[in-house]
Amino acid sequence: MHLPITLLWLDRCLGIEDNEALYAAIRHAQQHQQPLLAFVSTHRKAWLSQHLPSTKDPHSAALARQSAAFDAQLQLAQHSIQLRVTDLSASTVITALCQESSVSALFTDAHADAEKARLLRAFARSGLAVQRIGSNTLLNADERQALPDQLIGRFTKFYHQVKGIPVARPAERFVLEEIVDPPPSATWPNRLRTLHGDSPRRTNSTHVLPITQGELDAWWQEYLWASRALAKYKHTRNQPMGRTAFSRLSAALALGTLSPQTVCTHIEAFEHQLEQNESTQWLRYELFWREYFHWAGERLGSALFQAPAPALSTAQARALNAWCNGQTGEGIVDAGMHELLATGFMSNRVRQLAASCLVHNLNVPWQYGAAWFEQHLIDYDVNSNYGNWGYIAGQHPLSAAPHAFDLSWQTQQHDPDGEYRRAWGALN
């Protein structure tokens, strides 16, 4: 008879700060005197990938997730907690562990994800005790649940309803440094392969976003205190390039190595010590856009994707290939697509222009562009990505009307001297 173990699946919350699922799993293992088995799956199966061009280099999104996973592994090892990193799917890992061990409970975050929700429901029906705790959001589960469905597609009303709610904090802060007797690690089956080594090498481009705790600490020092760039954020955020033009926090938020609560804490410190203005307020405002897409994705489920995607005509397939490779003839769009392939990043405004070009200029169904971003963005977040694409395309629960951008006007506004297009080899 197998001894019971506590299982922790670190998924969308890969940091150790404000990680309620991590804390709950450790407490459960300690209270029940059980070994703890923790894992991260780097497995990715992007939607519609069979219709997208192949790339020779590993996808930046996958490398970013591995970097975050190995950083969590190193941090937890300092507290005698072993974290396994595997490229097998979470479904494969959990199924195998349930077959080989007596899993008393599975802990994971409550991030809104239709596929993950289906998987966890299936395990719960099989008799596994599933605990979904924490979701790296500003609002807690009860506050999100209380919001009416009528707010879907109405961000302004959503914002005015939630902006006064105090920022959610974990019900109980669990300090890893205070663990006196960490639970022992459970045995990892030999047949389940793991990834080893330090964080994988990412591009040395200055456009790389901070992901690991060390990178974040250095970035806060540069962005807030050395450059004081937050004070100008509202006026620089739509620039296509510039090291401190935008916050660069999106990847850490998407991977869960940074919590929105921590972002708010840093904003408050900046306002208290230096300056409070419309720019500091605007970064908070954009955290609520993230919150809105998270909540809407939670409510919409698979309707967020409007699957199945329409089939592509021959002309649409050619247009999609040109767009993916930065060969549309629209300089600012092509520059953005070159930057994406080289670094896994492009600024938010350039993403909007690229999406508008694909959908409204090239007449390609939006789902294919969203799937390309899913593969390549370092800061890929399922709800923000597909929500933004649906919003720009229109005829979607999040937007009944299309949102098309005038690419010529946008280019004159945001790259009048061609600096960005020249930097990425797209100056016509």
**Could you tell me which residues come within 8 angstroms of residue 136 by beta carbon, excluding any fewer than 6 positions away?**
12, 13, 18, 109, 111, 253, 256, 259, 260
Side-chain half-sphere exposure of 55, counting CA atoms within 13 A:
18
- On whether 174 is known to bind a ligand per the annotation, the reply is no
> Residue 290 annotated as binding?
yes
Give the model's confidence band at 140: pLDDT under 50 very low, under 70 low, under 90 confident, else very high. confident
From start to end of 122-224, where are the E strands? 130-132
Domains of the chain are 4-135 (3.40.50.620), 213-303 (1.25.40.80), 305-423 (1.10.579.10)
pLDDT of residue 260: 93
pLDDT at 159: 95
SS3 label, residue 39: strand
**293 is an annotated ligand-binding site residue:** yes
CA distance 13 to 95: 21
pLDDT at 46 over 80: no
pLDDT digits 0-9 by tens, 356-374:
999 999 999 999 999 999 9
- How many angstroms separate the CA atoms of 264 and 283, rounded? 9
**Residue 205 pLDDT level (bands cut at 50, 70, 90):** very low
Question: 253, 379 in Cβ contact below 8 A?
Answer: yes
AA letter at 1? M
Determine whether the annotation assigns residue 142 to a binding site. no
Q: What is the pTM of this model?
A: 0.93
CA distances from 114 to 105, 162, 185 (A): 21, 24, 30
Is 10 one of the annotated binding-site residues? no
Compute the chain's Rg from CA coordinates: 22
Tell me the CA distances in angstroms from 316 to 36, 311, 366, one per residue in order: 50, 9, 11
pLDDT band at 402 (very low <50, low <70, confident <90, very high): very high
Q: Is 380 annotated as a binding residue?
A: yes
Check whether 27 is labelled as a binding-site residue. Answer: no
Compute the average pLDDT of residues 97-110: 93
Q: Is 20 annotated as a binding residue?
A: no
Whether 144 has a binding-site annotation, put simply, is: no
- Does 316 have pLDDT greater than 70? yes
Residue 288 assigned as binding residue: yes
> What percent of the chain is modeled with pLDDT above 70?
93
Cis peptide preceding 308, ω within 30 of 0: yes
Helix (H) or strand (E) holding 84, with range, is strand 83-86
pLDDT over 50 (residue 203) = no
